[in-house]
C-alpha cells in the first residue's frame, strides 16, 4: 500500500490540487499537526513552498528516516534551515531582470513531459513566478532546469548514496500551475504520477 503525505503550509490549499490528492488517496495535513513518526512512516513527502521550516526542523529525524528507508521527498521553495543532510541553503540568482529569469531545460524528466520552458519562464507575461534562485544541488544530483542567464540550478533530482531521493524545486509550489491554460498545467498530475510510481516500487521491494 502506498503511503504518500502532503505537508500543507497553510490551511487552504488549491481546491483542484486537494481533489487530485483525494482522488489518489493521498493524505494532506498541516505541518503543525504532524510529528516525526508521521514523516518516517511515509514513502513520499510532498512539501510546499512557504512551509514552516522551523517546525519541520524539529522533525528532521523523521525526514532523514524517510529518505534512509528509500523514500522520496519533493521539496518546493527556498531552503533556509538544514532540513536534509548534505544540502545548502537557498542562493538568490545573480540578476532579477526579465532576461535573468528565463528557464532552460538541462535534462528531461517525466514530471516535465510536454512542458514548454516558455510557460515556466513567463506566467501571464511576467517572469520570475517559477524561480528566482537555487537550492544548490549536491555534485551527484541531476539538474533538470536552470536559469539560462547565470546557470542557477532550479530543479534537480538527487539519488542519495545512503538511500532515497530528493526532488528539489527552488521556487513557488509547482502545483500552483494546475489550473493554468498552458503546458505548465501538466506538472501537477505528472508529479503525482511519478511519486505514486516511486511509492509503488518501494512497496514492491518491501515484499
Q: What is the pLDDT of residues 25-71, one digit of tens each?
A: 999 999 989 999 999 999 999 999 999 999 999 999 999 999 999 99
Query: Residue 200 has which C-alpha cell?
Result: 509503488
pLDDT for res 43: 96
Average pLDDT, the chain: 93
Is the model's pLDDT at 172 over the cut of 90? Answer: yes
Is the model's pLDDT at 116 over the cut of 60? Answer: yes
The owner of cell 519562464 is 121
Is the model's pLDDT at 181 over the cut of 60? Answer: yes
pLDDT for res 201: 82
What does the alpha-carbon distance between residue 88 and residue 134 come to, in Å, rounded to a whole number? 10
pLDDT for res 204: 73
What does the alpha-carbon distance between residue 70 and residue 135 come to, in Å, rounded to a whole number? 22
Q: Is the dihedral of CA 190, 128, 5, 143 positive or negative?
A: positive
Query: Residue 173 has which C-alpha cell?
Result: 509550489
What does the alpha-carbon distance between residue 180 and residue 50 come to, in Å, rounded to a whole number? 21
Report the b/e string of 95-108 with b at 16+ CB within 10 A.
eeeeebbbbebeee
Is the model's pLDDT at 170 over the cut of 90? Answer: yes
Alpha carbon separation from 189 to 112, 115, 185 (Å, rounded): 10, 12, 8
Q: Calculate helix-pair angle for 187-206, 15-23, nearest 10 degrees.
A: 30
pLDDT for res 152: 97
Is the model's pLDDT at 1 over the cut of 60? Answer: no
Q: What are the extents of the domains in the chain?
A: 4-206
Select from 3.40.50.10800, 3.40.50.880, 3.40.50.970, 2.60.40.3080 the CATH code of 4-206: 3.40.50.880
Q: Do 73 and 164 form a contact (C-beta atoms < 8 A)?
A: yes
The predicted model scores a pTM of 0.95
Query: 146 has which bridge partners?
Result: 104, 153
pLDDT for res 15: 85
What does the alpha-carbon distance between residue 5 and residue 42 come to, in Å, rounded to a whole number? 6
What is the helix, strand, coil percentage profile of the chain, to 5? Answer: 35, 25, 45
Amino acid at each position: 500500500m502506498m503511503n504518500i503525505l502532503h505537508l500543507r503550509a497553510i490551511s487552504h490549499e488549491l481546491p483542484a490540487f486537494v481533489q487530485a490528492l483525494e482522488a489518489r488517496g493521498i493524505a494532506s495535513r498541516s505541518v503543525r499537526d504532524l510529528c516525526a513518526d508521521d514523516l518516517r512512516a511515509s514513502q513520499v513527502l510532498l512539501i510546499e513552498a512557504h512551509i514552516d521550516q522551523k517546525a519541520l526542523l524539529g522533525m528532521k529525524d523523521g525526514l532523514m528516516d524517510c529518505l534512509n528507508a528509500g523514500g522520496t521527498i519533493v521539496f518546493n521553495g527556498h531552503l533556509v534551515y538544514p532540513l536534509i543532510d548534505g544540502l545548502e541553503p537557498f542562493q538568490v540568482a545573480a540578476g532579477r531582470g526579465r532576461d535573468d529569469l528565463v528557464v532552460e531545460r538541462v535534462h528531461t524528466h517525466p514530471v516535465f513531459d510536454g512542458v514548454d520552458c516558455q510557460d515556466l519562464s513567463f506566467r501571464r507575461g511576467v517572469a520570475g513566478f517559477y524561480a528566482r534562485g537555487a537550492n544548490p544541488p549536491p555534485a551527484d544530483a541531476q539538474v533538470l532546469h536552470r536559469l539560462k542567464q547565470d546557470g542557477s540550478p532550479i530543479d534537480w533530482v538527487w539519488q542519495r548514496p545512503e538511500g532515497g531521493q530528493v526532488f528539489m524545486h527552488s521556487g513557488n509550489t509547482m502545483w500552483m500551475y494546475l489550473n493554468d491554460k498552458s503546458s505548465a498545467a501538466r506538472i501537477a498530475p505528472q508529479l503525482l504520477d511519478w511519486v505514486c510510481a516511486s511509492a509503488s516500487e518501494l512497496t514492491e521491494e518491501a515484499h
